Amino acid sequence: MTAVKAAPTLGFIWGDGVTGYSIKYAWHAPVDAGRERIVLVTERRLGAHAPAWTPAPAVNPDAEFTLVEMRVDARGVGEGKASLTTTVALDAKAQTLALDGYDAAPVLLKVTR
C-alpha cells in the first residue's frame, strides 16, 4: 500500500460524477486475437465513499486499494473484474499485478464504446 500511495496519479476513475479514484498503476499488453489486457490500481477501494454499497462479499475486506483487470477487443468492447471479489496475485510471466483466477471471477464492469 505504501508503494501505491507514493506513486504518481496517472488518471482517474469517476464514480457518481463527484467521487473519483486516483489511478496509481496502469499496465496493458496484447492477450490474443486482437484483445488487450489492461490492469489498473486505484489508491482507494472502489466504493469506499459509500460503505453500504458492496457489489459482492468482499474477498479482501481490509485492502485499501482496488485492482481492476479488463479484457477488451480492438473496438474497445469487453469486460472488467476487480479485486473486490477476487484476490490479487503477481503475474510473473507478464511482470504485473493481476487477479488470481481471472476467468472464474465475476464480471463487474461492461466496457463499451
19 pLDDT tier (thresholds 50, 70, 90): confident
32 vs 80: CA distance, rounded Å? 16
Q: Which residues contact 1 (CB under 8 A, 6 or more apart)?
A: 64, 65
Look at residues 90, 79, 98 and name the one whose alpha carbon lies nearest to residue 28: 98
Tell me if residue 107 falls in helix, strand or coil.
coil
Could you count the other beta carbons within 10 Å of the beta carbon of residue 75?
10
22-79 confidence digits (pLDDT tens): 999 999 999 888 899 999 999 988 876 665 555 555 566 567 899 999 999 999 999 9
Q: Are 99 and 86 in contact (CB under 8 A)?
A: yes
